[in-house]
Structure 1
């Protein structure tokens, strides 16, 4: 009985104790509600700081074209909810708890308890979020889709090609074969066939990834590595070749990858590049193309090799007829046409070139072509039949002018995917075009000639509209043609003086391209030399002081990684001087080159532009892009360049002073540019809009990239915008209404408009700002406007605006944006190919349901939040 009584007593005591603790704890919730809320609010502030830091990383990653990890976006959503709706709910409970009940006579214990309990739970949730938010990385890079697909017009499904194609596909599928070779003469279609293999491999999903690199006869290991890495989305952090190769090898071993190496001329050390070899579980499958079977067999140890021969007679005629049109078979030209087609030797590139030239030509042109093709060129051109050489040479001879011919020959020495802008510089320096006096006229003439050469199939499109390309065979024929009259010495690999031609050959030399030299002769005895391009990777390389003593006819000098010698002052006929990645000290000697028309100092180590540059009174173009150490341009230098038409400085120089504040020891002011009456192209960074002179006119500018504002806030990427001829970037830190009339002139003509950090406005471009703007606009990027609710205010003036040329719209960092236009009746038409909407927290009606804005959308990208 006593035991039972004792047990009951203990049980009662335990229950009473439990109930007491519970009541005590609940009572503490009521008493300590203010403290609970204060603790929660402090933790929310910490979470806000953490979230803002993550958002900075996210924004930086998005600007770099990277993708955000899903868990990061999920964490941000939870953090936004906690700092938004959850905080608001706690605030609501706090208001309720502060209200007394029973006619204001008694505290609201129930509300205080709910508030305290909620604050405690949410504080714990905040702690968990803070712990989860320690991200090492917030983003990953998308693997760019390789541009390896062959346009339908390029691959012809001939029977002979189809059989070889099937054989190569079988070899690619064979796990016991790791190196496959495809060989044949230049112009036979090796690359086209291999790209069709790549297309089929990707369609059948035989490999996880496919990468391709062009090797050429002068292989550059770093360039090959970069081509492969770009397709894999790999970014090298290592500087050494060995380190880069190791990184690439590790990446290639992670997947089953097909590596295509196009146009191999000699042994290539795959391990030096970083391409792993081994069994099917450790190495890549490698597909090679080469002109030489021995290179594939002996040097590259290809397990299976496939010859690509010329087209059969019927296939060649079918291809020729396809270009000419079926009508050729029913015309009087049929006998001549069949004979002409035979002269192409079954080589697709020759057929395409010749047929394109002869299409729609009268019979006498056909007869003359057949006559000349019946007497093949005597040129000794290794690996190509004389008749095939003659077809391309005949096309060259039929070019409509000497300007076309010289431009074609110049293109042949510029390599693959060459820059049109660099071609313009060279063409001006060599004086290829007559009857033109300005850079604009020369550019128009050059683009016309290039379009004619493309139409004749002697040139190809490049990777962008700012580049061009040339088939290897046509390039080789062009160099052979050039060597008959104006010899070109082209050496683009590491070499020494033993590789240079003899003195007699050098005396006749017109152009020299010499990259990777380890030493130079004391004197270059080339009295006829007009074009010299030299580059070295050795920082100790010096040009001898007497080097230019016998090259006084030189018109174009292009140096990469080499310092200027004092003997440059002897080059009185020099018209173009281009210095890239050069360590430059005092370059005052350049001022003695009185005939200089183009001066490019790009990505070079230069701190001050010497006052002697002002002596270059014939200068038409000054390019100082990428010179990050340039801090001083003395006053009075730029204003003396009275013939200057183009000035390119990007963000290299920002030390402009206000008008009237310059002195002998200070910098130039923008007012000096007012004296440049010929200026039509300008690329410049102005850190403060207030230093733009009131009477400064941008009206004459036809091409410009102008950035106004602080550069440190956002990494403005200048590279890709060059496809737009008129770009304006504004980082104002204030309302856009403060823009002066000079800047508004630029705004009216802009094709590419960036607006960043606009403060204090709800309508970004108010009706007073609109007028006749945006008629030429192709790309609009707006970001970081905390108060912005609308981009445009709908009104009678705005109703007349049509963004019919707009191709791309990006809106980012506009948390309170409601709609593009405010909701009044009207119609603003926007035709878009590309829309990107980044991280809009409140984005109710970007495409308003009212008739205020009518959007015609052609999506090229998927929308993001």
Structure 2
């Protein structure tokens, strides 16, 4: 039958070809020489893969190492890469055909094979030809349009809105290129400009909006570096000021229709000296400066100026009432005093908000009278409106309920000006200093107290809680920070050295005696001069993170700091720590994260008070420091991303108060005994765990013990997970090439890579929010309807590079399934995927469907009634045109949700 089929195949050419001779010759070539063509195919595939790597390398070389410029491949390049990846997905199957093929049978199969090889050779040759992209056409450079800035509540008073509207008018007026915004400190200039920055970006009124915060100590070098960081330039190796200016000029000139906002400018400077292009109608650029001086506006040659004025009496009173609340102003006697208090604030919003917050709970008239007297007295002794504002802020500081709150607030000023302070880090620092409770108090209770103190400070309007990229931060107004530094300068109990981000390359003369805290973070310090360090018995916190420290620290440095509790040397170039560190018996936190060159940590045997040891990302650390097992009060041990391979037997048992154990992406090998210790620790108080298990057997054993039920956070990897694997949820699992018996209850994020069998137990899925399945070629489906019923909280589903996937959800007998919280569905490189679901998926919160290289998928299981108005369907135009709809109305309705990625 095979011979007859082959002959029929050849003779069939009579019906379609003009030349029987040519047809028979072609078929015979396919029949007798498939192996030679297959070898040719293999060589061509190697050339194509080499070309693919060359294209990827060019894209990587174009990508800035930091900054905000984005390199985006052109659509032609993206389409070419997609086609190459599609061919690669069949590579394994083709290579299996290299075995000898019998020459006397299976003629029809050999002809079909030959035809397939011939088609692929032509396709690869076409891709090889089209893949010779000129360097200037491979990608486009897209400058980041800017950042939406964390914004505090905007005061919609007539005076403020009038200033905002005037600035917007000037920004939209082509004839105005330089705008000056001036007014007293605390009057609200920055608040207004943040609103404008965000509005310009959201409405797309300019291609690029750049925000640069300028400090009091303006230096052209520092300003150049700040702008360079924003535009993705590395000027660290360029010492010449003019050379830096030339590079900045070139980078900024590429940004057409841009706005550069320089906030809080104190001194005028030459645009040319920095490298800022002169704003003109031709280049479409505009410059906005905010300053406290009208003279500065004039010397910066602004075309127009806008004064942000203090609030008139009625608006000031309205703002004060909103902060002090109407409830405490019900008494006519209190109201009359309150109005006098408002007058003392001089119409400055910052002073009004701060004083109003401080008096929010004052209900007794005598308390209001005393407050008024104190405010009036402080105003009489300090001249200048800025100083008057600081005196009001200082008054609010002293009204805090106790020294703990005051000390916690002052700690915030140790960070650089305008810095977004991570609330978790801040509370940890407070805890390490001993501000949040006595020894023995559980960490959870201490952190709850820390949150309460943040609330107290927020209600007192001494700091703002801002949300940025879904995380909470603390930010101080620059005048509030000035007040805090003034207090730390004048008040002995809180005397501190505060020089963060001051551009220090050398330490200079610093008076260390009687200092409580020292912050030299984010400078370029090469070392510390031990001769300038006098005995400082009261020093409790030393913040040295983000310094180079190319030289060694003095060996006896820590002999002068017997009371030190917090030492942060993270992100420094230090290679070894001085031996005097071993004598810091009061030290509670030793933070060495990302000390890339660190190889030696002295003995920690005497550090019995140590609560936190962070060695994360110290890749040259080969073993735990000597004496780690003696740290009986240790609560956090972080050795993630290190080369530490051994946790000595009995270590976890000796650390009986351990609450956080982070070993992810390290070389730690978990033996049977160490897993037993880990299980025991999980039941005795461990609340946060990050561990890599070698295989599913170890993981399943740990999971079956119920250990995960006691964890508030876990990040568990099974198999050879990639180091760059990231997690977005508190309870996450990634499995690579292993079979899971079950996943822990309350798992929120699950990533499966190269998994052959997926048999989820329903009991572990009810908390799952994210599932990401990648490179699992043997999976034919992802969910059954029964399993889907347990996924009540699923929000994101991503399935990619699964060559055998035919359907996402096995239909069963159901015509409808509900996924009420699903927001995103991404399907990529699934050549056999025919169906997402045969019925209808009810998902009215779905925001995004992205389909790439799923050519046989012809239907989306969506209901018109269930579609969210924000839904975006992304895919190729060709794929979209091939879709089949249940009826014409649905197709028309869906069309407005489609976004073409490329044709």
Indicate whether the TM-score tops 0.5.
yes
How far the C-alpha of 1:258 sits from its partner, in A, is: 1.6
The CA distance in 2 between the partners of 1:698 and 1:113, in whole Å, is: 58
Gapped regions of structure 1 (runs ≥ 5): 1-20, 89-97, 101-106, 661-668
Equivalent position SS for 1:216? coil
* Structure-2 residue corresponding to 1:554: 564
Residues 729-748 of structure 1 mapped to structure 2, 5 A cutoff: 729-731=734-736, 733-737=737-741, 744=743, 747-748=744-745
- Go from structure 1 to structure 2 and tell me whether the alpha carbon gap of 1:219 and 1:57 turns closer, same or farther (over 3 Å shift): farther
Number of the residue aligned with 2:581: 568
- SS for the counterpart of 2:354 is helix
Match of 1:773 in 2: 764
Please tell me whether the aligned partners of residues 48 and 127 of structure 2 are also in contact (alpha carbons under 8 angstroms).
no
2:166 aligned residue: 166
Whole-Å Cα distance in 2 between the matches of residues 631 and 222 of structure 1? Answer: 44
- Counterpart residue number, 2:495: 487
Preserved contact between residue 507 and residue 529 of structure 2 (Cα < 8 Å) = no
SS of equivalent residue, structure 1 residue 780: strand
DSSP 3-state at the match of 2:600? coil
Q: Which residue of 2 is the match for residue 314 of structure 1?
A: 314
- 1:705 Cα deviation from its structure 2 partner: 1.8
Matches within 5 A, 1:176-575: 177=177, 179-199=178-198, 201-202=200-201, 207-217=206-216, 234=232, 249-256=249-256, 257-265=258-266, 275-277=276-278, 284-292=285-293, 305-323=305-323, 332=332, 333-359=334-360, 362=363, 364=365, 366-376=368-378, 384-386=386-388, 388-415=389-416, 416-434=419-437, 437-460=441-464, 461-463=466-468, 464-483=470-489, 484=491, 485-492=493-500, 493-495=502-504, 500-502=509-511, 506-515=512-521, 516=523, 517=525, 519-522=528-531, 523-535=533-545, 537-560=547-570, 561=572, 562=574, 563-575=576-588
> What is the CA–CA distance in structure 1 between the aligned matches of 2:694 and 2:244, rounded to whole Å?
38
Decide whether the 8 Å contact of 1:377 with 1:389 is kept in 2.
no
Per the normalisation by structure 2, the TM-score is 0.74
1:27 CA drift (Å): 5.3
Output the CA distance in 2 between the equivalents of 1:455 and 1:295. 35
* 1:31-81 Cα distance to aligned partner (Å, 9 max, x none): 54525877776666667667778999999999x998654224443676689
Shift of 1:729: 1.7
1:681–1:702 Cα contact (<8 Å) kept = yes
Shift of 1:283: 9.2
User: Which one of 594, 600, 618 corresponds to residue 633 of structure 2?
Assistant: 618
C-alpha distance in 1 between matches for 2:445 and 2:697: 34
Structure 2 CA distance for aligned equivalents of residues 648 and 115 of structure 1: 53
After superposition, the Cα gap between the structure-2 partners of 1:734 and 1:609, relative to the gap in structure 1 and judged at 3 Å, is closer
Deviation readout 1:404-461 (Å, 9 max, x if unpaired) = 3332222232341112232133112211112662222222222233234334433321
Deviation string, structure 1 residues 822-847 (Cα, Å, up to 9, x no partner): 21246554412344333433444335
1: CA distance, partners of 2:774 / 2:87: 25
Q: 1:167 to 1:126 in 2, by over 3 A?
A: closer
Q: Distance in 2 between matches of 1:514 and 1:774?
A: 47
| 1:129 matched to 2:127 | yes
Distance across 1 between alignment mates of 2:239 and 2:649: 44
CA gap 1:825/1:27 in 2 versus in 1, 3 angstroms: closer
Asked if the contact 2:581/2:602 (under 8 Å) is kept, the reply is no
Distance in 2 between residues matched to 1:279 and 1:476, nearest whole Å = 37
Cα drift, residue 645 of structure 1: 1.4
Q: Could you tell me how far 1:551 is from its partner in structure 2?
A: 2.2
Q: Does structure 2 conserve the Cα–Cα contact (< 8 Å) formed by 1:249 and 1:276? A: yes
Measured in 1, the distance between the counterparts of 2:775 and 2:546 equals 44
Q: Distance in 2 between matches of 1:602 and 1:749?
A: 26
Q: Report the CA distance between 1:138 and its aligned residue.
A: 7.4
- The match for 2:790 is 801
**Structure 1 residue 490, shift from structure 2 partner:** 0.6
Secondary structure class of the residue paired with 1:309: coil
3-state SS of paired residue (1:753): strand
Q: Distance in 2 between matches of 1:509 and 1:209?
A: 45
Q: Which stretch of the first structure deviates more once superposed, 33-42 or 585-594?
A: 33-42
In structure 2, relative to structure 1, the CA distance for the partners of 1:592 and 1:150 (3 Å cut) is closer
Shift of 1:553: 1.6
CA contact (8 A) 2:545 2:569 kept: yes
Larger radius of gyration: 1
Corresponding position: 1:70 with 2:75: yes
How many angstroms apart in 1 are the aligned matches of 2:647 and 2:370? Answer: 61
Distance 1:688 1:139 in 2: 41
User: Which ranges of structure 2 fall in alignment gaps of 5 or more residues?
Assistant: 1-17, 64-69, 94-102, 849-870, 876-903
* Contact 1:622–1:647 under 8 Å retained in 2: yes
Equivalent residues of 1:312, 1:346 under 8 A apart: yes
For the residues of structure 1 that align with 2:112 and 2:635, how far apart are their CA atoms?
Answer: 77
Whole-angstrom CA distance in 2 between matches of 1:558 and 1:84:
48
Measured after TM superposition, the shift of residue 637 of structure 1 is 4.1
- In structure 2, how many angstroms separate the alpha carbons of the residues matched to 1:222 and 1:634? 50
Query: C-alpha distance in 2, partners of 1:258/1:753?
Result: 42
1:756 pairs with 730, 736, 753, which one?
Answer: 753
CA drift at 1:647: 1.8
Q: 162-171 or 123-132, which moves further after superposition? A: 162-171
**Whole-Å separation in 2 of the counterparts to 1:543 and 1:42:** 62
Partner of 1:727: 732
Shift of 1:707: 2.0
Preserved CA contact (<8 Å) 1:736 1:758: no
Look up the match of 2:726: 717
1:702 Cα deviation after fit: 1.7
Alpha-carbon contact 2:248-2:276 (below 8 Å) kept: yes
Counterparts of 1:864 and 1:59, CA distance in 2: 24
TM-score of the aligned structures, taking structure 1 as reference length = 0.77
- Residue in 2 that maps onto 1:791: 782
In structure 1, the partner of 2:866 is none
8 Å contact kept, 2:751–2:772? yes
Q: 1:598 Cα deviation (Å)?
A: 1.5
Work out whether residues 721 and 735 of structure 2, in 8 Å CA contact, stay in contact via their aligned partners in 1: no
Instruction: Supply the distance in 1 between the matched residues of 2:802 and 2:222 (Cα, whole angstroms).
Output: 40
Which 10-residue stretch deviates more, 416-425 or 268-277? 268-277
Are 1:813 and 2:823 matched, yes or no?
Answer: no
Q: Distance in 2 between matches of 1:240 and 1:575?
A: 40
Give the 3-state SS of the residue equivalent to 2:773 in structure 1: strand
Tell me which of 670, 689, 696 is aligned to 1:682.
689
Q: Partners in 2 of 1:383 and 1:790 — Cα distance? A: 70
Name 2:861's counterpart in structure 1.
none
Distance in 1 separating the partners of 2:534 and 2:110? 93
In the alignment, structure 1 residue 706 sits paired with structure 2 residue 713: no
**Residue in 1 aligned with 2:845?**
857
Deviation at 1:173, TM superposition (A): 4.3
| Contact 2:513 2:534 survives alignment (8 Å) | no
Which residue matches 2:656? 642
Contact kept, 8 Å, 1:654 with 1:687, in 2: the verdict is no
Q: 1:48 to 1:621 in 2, by over 3 A?
A: same
Contact 2:797-2:825 at 8 Å conserved across structures: yes
The superposition leaves residues 442-501 of structure 1 with CA deviations (integer Å, 9 ceiling, x where unpaired) of: 222222332343344333214242432222222222333344241121112244889545
After superposition, the Cα gap between the structure-2 partners of 1:295 and 1:495, relative to the gap in structure 1 and judged at 3 Å, is: farther
Structure 1 residues 307-358: Cα deviation after superposition (integer angstroms, max 9, x where no partner)? 4332232332343345567889986354233223223221222223333454
